[in-house]
Amino acid sequence: MTRLVRSELFKARTTRTALGLALGLLAIVLLIVILTAALTKKSPADTLGVQRHREEDILGPLGFAPLFALLFGLLAATSEYRHGTISATLLAAPWRHRVVVAKIIASAIVGVLLGAFVSAVASAVGLPWFAARGFHVDGSGAVRIVVGVVAGSLLWGALGAGVGSIVKAQVPALIGALAWVLVVESLLNGLVPRVGRFTPGGALNAVLGLAHNDDTLSTAAGVALTLLYVAAAAVVGAAVTQRRDIT
């Protein structure tokens, strides 16, 4: 299994996909962080020191990291089918369920790296700047957010590889995932939040600890539910891949 995970990580670093996603994510996050740091107006509550924990505002865009980890996982699993390399992969390692699990583990690792990288840059740029402008920024609160972002990226990287192993067709997988997260879940969260909190995105919200409200699950419940989604995707992905004809 170690060999297979190493092979998947090697594949990840020998194309431009992971780097492209990392740079794209960084660009989006930095843009929002810089605009937030530069343009946020101080309220009287800030001036009086009543408004606390502004790190949630400046580090909020890190919530994009798990989405990009998901995209990476989807691409890692589906590009093998798109380019036909799945044949060579399964000739080198004909134990299909192990290949699926290796992809899930490797995508989780890439998710961690993606989340950690963008968190480090965003924190280094945003937190001192925001603090210097007189907003209250709590160090331990920032660490809590970064841990949530890294954990969320880990879980969603794994989820992407699992779902990608099931769907296999790259374009439908990407469009479907984005439509689900950005449209369906947004609607559910907005209209029926008591249902929405149990969706993958709702569970991720609990993991991230950003934008909490009364309907948000506890962090532990969010992690457990996301793990359940990952496990379900892994089991179905392995079963489907096991039965699939590679033509």
Partner 1 sequence: MIEVRGLTKRFGSTVAVDDLSFTIEPGRVTGFLGPNGAGKTTTLRAILGLVRPTAGTATIGGRPYAALEEPLRTVGAVLEASAFHPGRSGRNHLRSLAVAAGIGEDRVDHALGAVGLTDAAGRRVGGYSLGMRQRLGIAGALLGDPQLLVLDEPANGLDPQGIRWLRDSLRAFAADGRTVFVSSHVLSEIAQTADSVVIINRGKLIEHLPLAELEARAVAGTRVRSPEAGKLLAALDGAGIEATALDDGRIVARTEPPRVGEIAASKGIVLHELTAESSSLEDVFLALTEGE
Instruction: Return residues touching partner 1 (CB under 8 A).
Output: 3-4, 6-7, 10-11, 14-17, 79, 83-85, 87-96, 243, 245-247
Closest CB to partner 1 among 170 and 189? 170
Least Cβ distance, residue 41 to partner 1 (angstroms): 45
Closest CB to partner 1 among 86 and 207? 86
Q: Which amino acid is at 52?
A: R
As a whole number of angstroms, the distance between CA 66 and CA 73 comes to 10
Closest CB to partner 1 among 143 and 246? 246
Closest CB to partner 1 among 103 and 197? 103
Nearest Cα to Cα of residue 69 among 126, 7, 119:
119
Copy the structure tokens of residue 173: 């997988």
